[in-house]
Amino acid sequence: MKTYRIASIPGDGIGKEVIAAGIEVLSSLAEKENFRLDFEAFDWSSERYLKTGAYIPDGGLEKLKTFDAIFFGAVGSPDVPDHISLWGLRLPICQGFDQYANVRPSRVLPGITSKLKGGDDIDWVIIRENSEGEYSGSGGRVHKGLPEELATETSVFTRVGVERIHRFAFELARKRPRKHLTLVTKSNAQRHGMVLWDEIFFEIKKQYPEVETDRVLVDAVTTRMVLKPGTLDTIVASNLHADILSDLAAALSGSLGIAPTANLNPERKFPSMFEPIHGSAFDITGKGIANPIATFWTASMMLEHLGEPKAAARLMKAIERTTEEQVFTPDLGGVHDTRAVTNAVKRAL
């Protein structure tokens, strides 16, 4: 029997609730599909940070490298500044494991009504450069607390980093029915890094004549997402821009509670990490009403990556049957809790 070793990092807030639901559904599915998932839990969280001063213990990343994939919940706590939690857990994994391709699909699932007129036209995949750009960590602060205090934040765009994410985007776009790729940029104002971003895109475009492309400024693409959603399909954007746009895409699709993410190392030199995008959501933590759909969809993406496309499709079909039956948590206007949605997906499997 094929066995996959999965590192489970529930993290903070509702991450613990939805990852537990995801493991339950995945375990049920694996039994039906005749493969095995061995989960090992890691207590890397803000709670651990407050007790020990570190999210990741010494040697933690080396141990994590031995797994086939990482199933991640969320990081962020009211008790820890956001820049400490993000740079303490998620980003060391993404950057340390060169998970440079962040993939975020968005569409309106059956039974869900988008608040957007024309929302049924949403069928997007946003590809986010995940290793450099605005989140490179380059910069610093000097003269702290003085009138002349200075902080710099440098966006880093390398030819290698930009070329590989654009190539990944073209490869994905040409596999989709519409074969359409939108370049999101802000090269009118960011005249160095994003000009390089644009130039490399059009260099690579020559190798993919079958893919239709357009170039849109990031502010303009937000209006297209709202007013003309059907004109977009595959979208490639920088680390910061795609981070923002994918949250908008999730909201337009119905809720942040249904949106999945894959942080991929396409060359598979390191394990990839799969996480729902909704964050730790401490306002609903412990209430049992967190929407697990994003985690289940994320799990489907993980199975696809692991080489189990049949199981991935079966899980996605079960998700769609559950939403079609409108077994919804409150974020989608429903009255059901996490347990009810989990049970519904397990029945649908």
The per-residue pLDDT for range 288-330, each reduced to its tens digit, is 999 999 999 999 999 999 999 999 999 999 999 999 999 999 9
Tokens of 82: 């956001």
Question: Mapping DSSP to helix (H, G, I), strand (E, B) and coil, where does residue 19 land?
Answer: helix
- Only one residue has tokens 């988008």, namely 114
CA distance 179 to 35: 34
Residues whose CB is less than 8 angstroms from the CB of residue 267 and which lie 6 or more positions away in sequence, other chains included: 98
Helix (H) or strand (E) holding 144: none
Mean pLDDT, the chain, integer: 96
Decide: 235 and 166 in contact? Cβ < 8 Å.
Answer: no
Query: Over the stretch 68-117, which tens digit does the pLDDT of each residue have?
Result: 999 999 999 999 999 999 999 999 999 999 999 999 999 999 999 998 88
Count the neighbouring beta carbons within 10 Å of the beta carbon of residue 5.
14
Beta strand 260-264 pairing with 36-41: unpaired
Q: How much is the pTM? A: 0.95
- Only one residue has tokens 């969320």, namely 74
